[in-house]
Structure 1
């Protein structure tokens, strides 16, 4: 669409260089695996809370949420409303559990309960979740920067990926957390700056945004039906959000690992609530941005032609067949090209980059940690020594970053970043959360019940995930439920099947 001015390129360059220098600074401390993975337990609770918030506020939020609000309504905001409920259970039960166990890996407990297979199974689910998440975030970065610079999306992913890999490998978890503190502030400032510019460009300001939004039902949270689970109703999204957030706070290595970085158990629990206090209102801010952009382009429909032409060419469809949902993710980058002033544009791009970098770097670090703890030390060498441990952590951190880049390149052209990530997260997380809850809650459940329940749950998840591809003659065998119900049904299937089998065995 146009090339970035030199001043904006300088702002972005300074930001990327600063992140690498942060990694160099903290690399001096990384003499052992404990420092690399948990920062030796020296992180204050407020910094940890901002780190969690920065991880949640990835480029999937920065770009996907406005795109979703532009193409639809505020239905997806219910995900944020479910966070406090999941945070309550996590702060009260999961944080004390992990802090007392002393295990850096979130999945060691599963081996104690059900055997090595359970630990490995959960670890594989986590790795798949993180790789798809990081890949979707790389795609989000590329989508924005391509619109602003004209550079090929693959090149953007590779260059930004190299920068992220360098500072994550060198700096370890302490560098990740402290850069996320800075990134959390940059992201929030960037979001407010975008919203202010959109409002100021509207003919009637906030009043017109409200008027147009109300006229086109853009503020709706969806249907409140208690019986319809085939569409994205209020309750479908709430259940999805609760189970995903319970998985995030309760057994996602990305978060569990950071509980051990806090100075005390109390500070670790408080960090979850600080994340919620920041994320819920700021996520609402991004929905407002999406609706405001819808109102702006409603007043200036001629400006959408460039976006529509690009999307129509990518999808090889007639331009008149496109709906707002087809090009929602591209609207924010295009608006930034049109209206954000020089200098400030570089800052906002830095905010989007920081949104991506914080989530990717923490994911890379946690993937390396579970590989060391749950694969290498469990199956290959229980006592590799400090030097060998660091070599493995460095290597796997870089490798996961490379795989994530490849996945990001593979999904170029998807309709919605947020929809893709939500679906994949539900598929991979559903299988491990149910097993984890079975182990924690059903004290009498043994290995046989857990294996059987997990196999049943996997079959249900596969059916719900793949039945949409069944041919017309098998339409009656398709899942009648919305894709966001996969994690809900998958989790409950494993847990309830395990509970039932345990009760039947005890008779």
Structure 2
């Protein structure tokens, strides 16, 4: 059973989150304050927040479980994160930043029209509800095992706390609580590593050596087997599209970086987060290798139970409380971000567009009510969708959202890089791309990591062809050209608007931020190759 000291640590952590939410949000006055922090956030907390959102409780618990069974190979799923960030830094973010939208899906209507906007909004809701639900599942599972309470009691507790401080402080609360949660998460990880090595009475390199002898450090698999997830080709092709959709066209990440004071701040935060995210994920997988040595490769009913079992059985008083707080931190850092973004998109893309009669800002009271409704939906998703999973939660979630990632990415690419794409054509491409991706994946037993690339390719090809058939519905070229990457670049050069705070703000400009990110991307492959020998 959990001790009084551990309970006290967890309670202090939860109270601190609520306190931060209240403190940073008490000066919110406008909708822009609540959704974008008045575009005034420093880049360092943004970088930590971006990293914290991606490294959820699924990674904290599911990552070690995945590595326990498959070694370091699951790192390949994340290896193209820096490549996607490179694309965001040098191409898409300058475009979104200049348009100055609150919801990234507003861009789709400016460039294409309301049908494409609505479809990309719909996929965001589907993806986000699946993701946020899975992020609540892990800490709820831990608390369920500790207290014996059923999920239908534990889940509402976790969600309500996350909702509370998110509502009180808006995006500022999301970012600043994420900073604290990252610190707690790092502390928890290193505590588990230190104690794990102590319990097996071996040094770090000796432990890793045992994992190498068992083939656990083999990550670079160059087989072109579409049924496998962690291969070089699946990660490079499918993974790149998946992460481009996430970092370039997903409201959760775009909204975060748009809170920065300038594009320079955005680039600094993106660059830093690219390093932090993958380094932390690699450390989480390393924990799985240590636990594999500790448990002697023993079989578990589910991979999600491996980390949880070690925490509950072996962590001493105080450290267990820290580790549970780390799992809660990982969960809440993702839940708060998704809740805030879900509320933002609903208000900007649905309520204010279709239901609000006047043009004034939506009230905070209504915002709170919408967040509460999403909280109820999340609770239902967790209890119904994840209660019986025996796979790593990371693997399950990846499969669910992969059908929509590619079509969403393809729709944005058509909007940004072509002049002929139009609203009806892209909508047809999105729908056919989603259906085609689902059929191909299930008929040919394709790994979920290939799905984003398949869906994106189908959407781009079919959407472009369909746009030719609906060419009479195109907006005038003069109205849409400035929303394409090339058109915006030409206009900015003509106006002389090419720099801000000493850095280029032009699309297609590869600066030091992009170069460093690209170098880090290639260094990862070298590091993984060296690990195998």
Question: How does the TM-score come out when normalised to structure 1?
Answer: 0.88
The reply to whether residue 494 of structure 1 matches residue 491 of structure 2 is: no
Runs of 4+ with deviation above 6 angstroms: 503-506
What is aligned with 2:383? 409
Counterpart of 2:370? 396
From the superposition, tell whether residues 427 and 261 of structure 1 become closer, same or farther in structure 2 (CA, over 3 Å): same
1:173-252 alignment runs, 5 A limit: 173-221=171-219, 223-225=221-223, 227-232=224-229, 233-252=231-250
- Distance of 2:111 and 2:282 partners within structure 1: 40
Give the match's secondary structure for 1:31. coil
Counterpart of 2:100 in structure 1 is 102
How far the C-alpha of 1:419 sits from its partner, in A, is: 0.7
Q: How far apart are residue 497 of structure 1 and its match?
A: 2.4
> 1:150, CA displacement in angstroms?
3.0
Q: In structure 1, what is the Cα distance between the partners aligned to 2:112 and 2:470?
A: 16
Q: Residues of 2 paired with 1:161 and 1:277: CA distance?
A: 29
Deviation at 1:19, TM superposition (A): 1.0
| Distance in structure 2 (CA, Å) of the matches to 1:365 and 1:505 | 36
Report the counterpart of residue 400 of structure 2 in structure 1. Answer: 424
SS of corresponding position for 1:124: helix
TM-superposed CA distance for 1:239, in Å, is 2.7
1:91–1:270 Cα contact (<8 Å) kept:
no
- Asked whether 1:440 is paired with 2:416, we answer yes
CA distance, structure 2, for counterparts of residue 235 and residue 27 of structure 1:
45
Alpha-carbon distance in 1 for matches of 2:427, 2:26:
44
The answer for the alignment partner of 1:172 in structure 2 is 170
2:426 maps to which residue? 450
Q: Deviations over 1:258-283 (max 9, x none)?
A: 22210001111221111111111111
Q: Is the 8 A contact 2:25 2:172 kept in 1?
A: no
Q: Distance in 2 between matches of 1:162 and 1:146?
A: 16
Contact 2:104 2:249 in 1 (8 A): yes
Pairwise CA distance, 1:52: 0.3
Whether contact under 8 Å (1:445, 1:502) holds in the other structure is yes
What residue number does 1:305 align with? none
Aligned to 1:359, the other structure's residue is in SS state helix
Show CA shifts across 1:243-268 (max 9, x none): 22111110110111122210001111
Q: Is the 8 A contact 1:79 1:242 kept in 2?
A: no
CA–CA separation in structure 2 for the residues paired with 1:487 and 1:194 = 34
Match of 1:121 in 2: 119
Structure 2: unaligned runs, 5 residues or longer: 472-533
Stretch moving more, 327-336 or 125-134 = 327-336
Q: Deviations over 1:292-329 (max 9, x none)?
A: 10111008x5xxxxxxxxxxxxxxxxxxxxx55x4221
Q: Is the 8 A contact 2:156 2:379 kept in 1?
A: yes
Unaligned runs of 5+ in 1: 302-322, 468-477
**2:412 aligns to what SS in structure 1?**
helix
Secondary structure at the residue paired with 2:323?
A: helix
Assess if the C-alpha contact under 8 Å between 2:10 and 2:322 holds in 1: yes
How far is the alpha carbon of 1:347 from its aligned partner? 1.1
The verdict on how the C-alpha distance between 1:41 and 1:150 changes in structure 2, with shifts beyond 3 A counting, is same
1:143 to 138, 141, 144: 141
**In 2, Cα distance between equivalents of 1:448 and 1:162:** 40
Check the 8 A contact 2:174/2:337 in 1, yes or no. Answer: yes
Residues 248 and 255 of structure 1 are in contact (CA less than 8 Å); yes or no, is this contact kept in structure 2? Answer: yes
TM-score, scaled to structure 2: 0.84
Q: Among 349, 353, 361, which residue is 1:378 paired with?
A: 353
SS in structure 2 of the partner of residue 221 of structure 1:
coil
Q: CA deviation at 1:449?
A: 2.6
Report the alpha carbon displacement of residue 340 of structure 1 after superposing the two structures with TM: 1.3
CA 1:36–1:490: 2 relative to 1, 3 Å:
same
Aligned CA distance change for structure 1 residues 38 and 207 (closer, same or farther; 3 Å): closer
| Contact kept? 1:426, 1:484, Cα under 8 Å | yes
SS of the residue corresponding to residue 175 of structure 1 reads helix
Does 2:31 correspond to 1:57? no
* 1:29-83 CA distance string (max 9 Å, x none): 2222111100101100111111101111110110110010112222210122211
1:43 aligned residue? 41
CA deviation after TM superposition for structure 1 residue 141, in Å: 1.0
Tell me how large the CA RMSD over aligned residues is: 1.9
2:508 counterpart residue number:
none
SS of match in other structure, 1:103: coil
CA contact (8 A) 1:8 1:345 kept: yes
